[in-house]
Amino acid sequence: MADHLIRSLTKFAPFRPAELELIERLQEKAESFGARTDVILEGDQPTKMFIVEEGLMMRYRILSDGRRQILTFLIPGDMCDVNIFFAHAMDHSISAVGPSRIRRVARDDILRLCLGNPRFAGAFWWSSLQREAMLRERVVALGRRNARARLAYLFCEFYWRYEAIDQVLDHTLVLPLTQAELGDTLGMTAIHVNRVLSDMRDDGLLQRSRARIELTDFEGLKALAEIDREYLHYSAPPPEVAAYFRESAA
Amino acid sequence: MADHLIRSLTKFAPFRPAELELIERLQEKAESFGARTDVILEGDQPTKMFIVEEGLMMRYRILSDGRRQILTFLIPGDMCDVNIFFAHAMDHSISAVGPSRIRRVARDDILRLCLGNPRFAGAFWWSSLQREAMLRERVVALGRRNARARLAYLFCEFYWRYEAIDQVLDHTLVLPLTQAELGDTLGMTAIHVNRVLSDMRDDGLLQRSRARIELTDFEGLKALAEIDREYLHYSAPPPEVAAYFRESAA
DNA sequence: CGGGAGGTTGAGCATGTTCAAAGGATGTGG
DNA sequence: CCACATCCTTTGAACATGCTCAACCTCCCG
């Protein structure tokens, strides 16, 4: 099994063997979490970050009346952001959606790594761009799109994200989300999610089971969602920028 | 007039005179933009970032049917993120809302600055945390709050942001936004904004004119919005983290 | 003083919610 | 391996929040 953190970072810049070994060593032993268990709670001041090795996790906030807003999802290879170390307290919680495995990295190790070798800082910067861009898309979707387009948008996002880690086969991906979770992500009730999904199925856009979704008409979904893959900023940074991080400063 | 970029950065860590002079020199001459003029367009690949000196700017996206979603606002002292340099193309546009003044900084200068002195990188990281946190609040508001609470939330955010730059007097702030702009920010029509605002005025929550808003019942608004100032992450990073950036590596 | 942008108001409508109930699926303990 | 409990999905009917369209007002600025 490839090291996910390394795979993630090397998409930004090629690291040298010594650097890779360094990262590998920083990561703690893998930890498993059952579905619906929390990894970090709102209010915590984290002293470790982590990277998802397996499974599906989510960031969420619980409101005073008990309702939940899911902010974003973390899939294998994603890291809980380095930024949280600059916060006094988490403004949201992170939990496993399905059974998941993570590996933690201590705050001090990460900070030392970035300070000692700016190429790591650059890699984290890039991941920060991607996270922020996903949140912007969410805002656009919630602010200006109807239920059907919101669902289409979310599925497109998942499609591209899973595609980037080679977990799409035949427009089908493993996505163990309940309709309630989809609703809490997109600002809708589970009931309405159900109705709209069933319309979309009838229109031949998708096929869904509890843990699996097939995007039978991906082009149709994309058109509905009015979203472009480039919005996710998956392509590596422009060469002139990457150049700054190429010659190691370590 | 204090240098806004410096003011902004020094909130993260105290910089030494030589470092401050360095920043000061990097900034280009101030440029002024009239209301509703664009600074960066979706699709551009920016080679400069900028800092807002005066006025009010916004990030926004135009949808295919002409509707607009305003993503976030930039107030004096805010910088257009460093992250954009890692993107191939802007996924949104930035324009002036009212007459505004900015100062640009070349990409290469900023990158060299950060690579040469990680304390700068740290300052930009912190600002990235804040931007991301604001987007998360927006998602919560759009996903799970009704019109009244959304407006309350936005006004609280503006209150705290303007307070942080000493531009609040007597719960009153200068906020030259039209109701259409409020609507495009919060996923509502201008007409509904109008109705809800007038209810809120009748309930004694606020007083508003074209360019000014007075939060007559700030506690009431805060309770409505269910938002906490800490969510914005304005307090400086924890001491153990700041320590890493204290001894200059330049 | 005229024009235009922004604000206000009303009536009808649409999208999505609430509440209630029943039908599947999944998993666990006996 | 069945029985049962739990969680998830599906469906219906009434309702609410916010939208659309259309008109008019008002303030500001030239």
Would you state the pLDDT for residue A247?
A: 63
The mean pLDDT value for A209-214 works out to 92
pLDDT > 70: what percent of chain B? Answer: 98
Residue B88: which of A184, A187, A238 has the nearest Cβ? A238
Would you state the pLDDT for residue A201?
A: 97
Q: Judge whether B141 and A61 are in contact, CB under 8 Å.
A: no
Closest residue in A to B139 (Cα) is A139
Vertex B249, ends B245 and B250: CA angle to 5°? 125
Distance A41 CA to C26 C1' (A): 29
Token pair for A65:
């009346």
User: How many angstroms separate the CA atoms of B56 and B157, rounded?
Assistant: 14
Would you state the pLDDT for residue B122?
A: 87
Determine whether the interchain pair A91/B233 forms a contact, defined as Cβ–Cβ distance below 8 Å. yes
DSSP symbol at B36:
T
pLDDT tens, position by position, B122-179:
889 999 999 999 999 999 999 999 999 999 999 999 999 999 999 999 999 999 999 9
**pLDDT at residue B2 tops 70:** no
User: How many angstroms separate the CA atoms of B127 and B162, rounded?
Assistant: 16
pLDDT tens, position by position, B202-232:
999 999 988 999 999 999 999 999 999 999 9
User: How many angstroms separate the CA atoms of B214 and B205, rounded?
Assistant: 9
Residue B144: which of A133, A187, A230 has the nearest Cβ? A187
User: How many angstroms separate the CA atoms of B187 and B179, rounded?
Assistant: 12
Would you state the pLDDT for residue B202?
A: 96
Token pair for B90:
């802007």
Under the banding of pLDDT at 50, 70 and 90, the label for residue A62 is: very high
| Mean pLDDT for all residues in chain B | 93
Chain A nearest C-alpha distance from B91 (Å): 6
Chain B nearest C-alpha distance from A92 (Å): 9
- B148-162: b (≥16 Cβ within 10 Å) or e: bbbbbbbbbbbbbbb
| Mean pLDDT for all residues in chain A | 93
**pLDDT at residue A250 tops 80:** no
Would you state the pLDDT for residue B249?
A: 47
Q: Which protein residue's Cα is closest to nucleotide D8 at C1'?
A: A178
Residue B60 phi, psi (nearest 5): -150, 165
Q: Between these two residues, B186 and A122, which has the higher pLDDT value?
A: B186
Determine whether the interchain pair B115/A63 forms a contact, defined as Cβ–Cβ distance below 8 Å. no
pLDDT tens, position by position, A149-196:
999 999 999 999 999 999 999 999 999 999 999 999 999 999 999 999
Under the banding of pLDDT at 50, 70 and 90, the label for residue A2 is: low
The mean pLDDT value for A118-125 works out to 86
Determine whether the interchain pair B83/A128 forms a contact, defined as Cβ–Cβ distance below 8 Å. yes
Under the banding of pLDDT at 50, 70 and 90, the label for residue A248 is: low
Distance B136 CA to D17 C1' (A): 24
Q: Which residues of B touch A187 (CB under 8 A)?
A: 142-144
Protein-contacted bases of chain C (C-beta within 7 A) = 5-10, 15-20, 25-26
Considering the entire predicted model, what is its pTM?
A: 0.96
User: How many angstroms separate the CA atoms of B218 and B174, rounded?
Assistant: 16
pLDDT tens, position by position, B58-117:
999 999 999 999 999 999 999 998 999 999 999 999 999 999 999 999 999 999 988 888
The mean pLDDT value for B185-192 works out to 98
Distance B23 CA to C17 C1' (A): 53
Distance A177 CA to D11 C1' (A): 21
Q: Between these two residues, A236 and A200, which has the higher pLDDT value?
A: A200
The mean pLDDT value for A63-88 works out to 95
Q: Which protein residue's Cα is closest to nucleotide D16 at C1'?
A: B146
